[in-house]
Chains A and B, each alone.
Chain A
């Protein structure tokens, strides 16, 4: 039972490069979301999706794009990486039913130099 899988686990980018952080879940969850974690800031919501074809912005969406073409996958794209995007990124999914919790991936540690 894989749960929520994030790839890669670690990545170093140069300023201006683009990349996609992958997130896949095998629990048939409708809701998926991306967070970034920075020291002293907790986790902050970047983008979220309530189902295939539907996405919306969270607290800190600037510099990131998402799409949700399938229920299973929710990739996060950095079009032009900046040092301010150095962070640990977590993907989460939940069923959307009442009284259920979100499940988190193991995170992607991204460094932009």
Chain B
């Protein structure tokens, strides 16, 4: 069965500093990988996705993520965070086509210090 681990429950970063959120997955074949963001009381917004090809993927809001097969990781990065980036971030994996749904990590809560 596939699984996703987000090791950091909370991360605090100063505004303007760089950010890296960790995600490790367990999946037998080539995974489809996603990062979602959820602001308080809101739904899920897709930041970026990896299906195949270039292992460095660009997303919205200045985020990027790198797929490293050897480390089973898909870490999310941003060079300079803004106060509006404070939110819950979820990494997710699915099998090709998504027939049996997504498996999510438990999330990382990002706090931005002024």
Contact = CB atoms under 8 A, between A and B. Distances in A.
A48 B51 CA distance: 21
B104 A43 contact: yes
Nearest to B102: A102
Contacts of A40: 9, 106-107
B interface bracket (residues with beta carbon within 8 Å of A): 20 to 34
B28 interface: no
Interface residues of A, number: 27
A25 interface: no
Nearest to B99: A50
Nearest to B100: A48
Contacts of B94: 102
Contact of A96 (B34, B90, B98, B105): B98
B43 interface: yes
Interface of B: 4, 9, 34, 42-44, 46, 49, 51-52, 90, 92, 94, 96-107
10 contacts: A40-B9, A58-B100, A58-B101, A90-B43, A96-B99, A98-B97, A101-B49, A102-B94, A102-B98, A105-B43
